[in-house]
A and B are shown apart, each in its own frame.
Chain A
């Protein structure tokens, strides 16, 4: 038996399950995320988190085209933003660019300059009825696709 104490794991204060670009990090290129993404640093290029929530933290500065399910801005975005669900621009946040979303929340004290357009959310896809379960489908480790929780940065 080991006498080592069990490793201590501290959950992400934002609820976990999200990738973070810290405030001392700068990324130039393309970001594709398959999990929620929190950007508190600097990003130039494109950011896609099509089925996930993207949060730009208070220190975050994004000069990019952004696509996500949901976008929450506390920092600054300079670029066009598209959200299948909603865009939230919080007090003191800044968004310069055209936005398309199903709904918008803009707090007093936020700055937004650009064109706003409502897009109707796509109807939910009906999943085909499952056939006989294959070993590959029942075992994620055997799936050819990457795991659901991952972020990819291309340069």
Chain B
């Protein structure tokens, strides 16, 4: 399915904003590559279905989508009567740390800047979060800061949907965007490949979300693990 990757890309989702602390790693070589033509497919999603089961009988909820704004997700969530907050998490990650292999994600100044740009919301502000696969772009220090912030800004008993690759020996993983087709189906666009910051097994995911009330796993056929996290 993958065509040869058309070169390396640098900062395709935005450049380096001014006024940031300098990067400490000096910029390592990127492992990321982008397809000339994105490949679009559909896949059933039990995780998405479970996520919507939790919110189907309510309206007026405030949801957060970390995958960036797109027509399908906006229309779908708002047609259910909810508000949707869109954050292009990976774009801002690249702006804050550089697109190159994740940059130096341990720099406290950059971590603060990044959290302010993406997750600067009051306690318990959201009633649900579509995380998708964005946590796979984060190195441990930043990942823990993000998970901690999510725990703070999402109200107790609310749900979050996240995807992780289930093969923890992969060197490259697909760079996807996810669009809601229906309650149990996603349109998945493959843009290229990227080096995962880290890969997870079930045990490491349980540990990552240990302060949350529960974590529920849905295994799929395409090596993408879907999980529902209850805050």
Is B74 interfacial (CB-CB < 8 Å)?
yes
Cβ 8 A contact of A114, one of B62, B71, B86: B86
User: Which of B62, B69, B71, B81 gathers the greatest number of chain A CB atoms within 10 Å?
Assistant: B69
Provide the residues of chain A in CB contact with B29, threshold 8 Å.
none
Q: A106 CA to B73 CA in the complex, in Å? A: 11
Instruction: Assess whether A111 is in contact with B91, with CB atoms less than 8 Å apart.
Output: yes
Closest chain-A Cβ to B61's Cβ sits at a distance in Å of: 11
Q: A117 CA to B85 CA in the complex, in Å? A: 9
Is B16 interfacial (CB-CB < 8 Å)?
no
Instruction: Assess whether B78 is in contact with A113, with CB atoms less than 8 Å apart.
Output: no
Cβ 8 A contact of B86, one of A105, A108, A112, A118: A112
CB within 8 Å for A104 and B86 given contacts A110-B69, A112-B69, A113-B69: no
Q: Mark each residue of chain A from 88 to 124: 1 if its CB lies under 8 Å from any CB of chain B, else 0.
A: 0100000000000000111110111111111000000
Instruction: Assess whether B91 is in contact with A114, with CB atoms less than 8 Å apart.
Output: no
Provide the residues of chain B in CB contact with A89, threshold 8 Å.
69
Instruction: Assess whether B84 is in contact with A115, with CB atoms less than 8 Å apart.
Output: yes
How many chain B residues sit at the interface, stated as a range, is 10 to 19
Q: Mark each residue of chain B from 46 to 89: 1 if its CB lies under 8 Å from any CB of chain A, else 0.
A: 00000000000000001000001111001100100101111110
Instruction: Assess whether A117 is in contact with B69, with CB atoms less than 8 Å apart.
Output: no
Closest chain-A Cβ to B85's Cβ sits at a distance in Å of: 5
Closest chain-A Cβ to B137's Cβ sits at a distance in Å of: 18
Instruction: Assess whether B74 is in contact with A116, with CB atoms less than 8 Å apart.
Output: yes
Closest partner residue, chain A, to B70 (CB atom): A106
Provide the residues of chain A in CB contact with B85, threshold 8 Å.
114-116
Closest partner residue, chain A, to B65 (CB atom): A116
Residue total for A at the interface (Cβ-Cβ under 8 A): 15
Provide the residues of chain B in CB contact with A108, threshold 8 Å.
70-71
Provide the residues of chain B in CB contact with A110, threshold 8 Å.
69
Cβ 8 A contact of A115, one of B70, B71, B81, B83: B83
Q: A82 CA to B124 CA in the complex, in Å? A: 25
Instruction: Assess whether B74 is in contact with A106, with CB atoms less than 8 Å apart.
Output: yes
Q: A114 CA to B118 CA in the complex, in Å? A: 10
Closest partner residue, chain B, to A95 (CB atom): B69
Q: A145 CA to B68 CA in the complex, in Å? A: 45
Closest partner residue, chain A, to B86 (CB atom): A112
Provide the residues of chain B in CB contact with A113, threshold 8 Å.
69, 86-88
Closest chain-B Cβ to A72's Cβ sits at a distance in Å of: 15
Other than A89-B69, A105-B71, A106-B74, give 19 A-B pairs with Cβ distance below 8 A. A104-B74, A104-B78, A106-B69, A107-B71, A108-B70, A108-B71, A110-B69, A111-B68, A111-B69, A112-B86, A113-B86, A113-B88, A114-B86, A115-B85, A116-B69, A116-B83, A116-B84, A116-B85, A118-B81
A-B CB contact pairs (8 Å), 23 listed: A104-B71, A104-B74, A104-B75, A104-B78, A105-B71, A106-B69, A106-B70, A106-B71, A108-B70, A110-B69, A111-B69, A111-B88, A111-B91, A112-B68, A112-B69, A115-B83, A115-B84, A115-B85, A116-B74, A116-B78, A116-B83, A116-B86, A117-B78
9 shortest interchain CB distances as A-B pairs: A112-B69, A117-B83, A115-B85, A118-B78, A116-B84, A106-B71, A112-B86, A116-B74, A115-B83
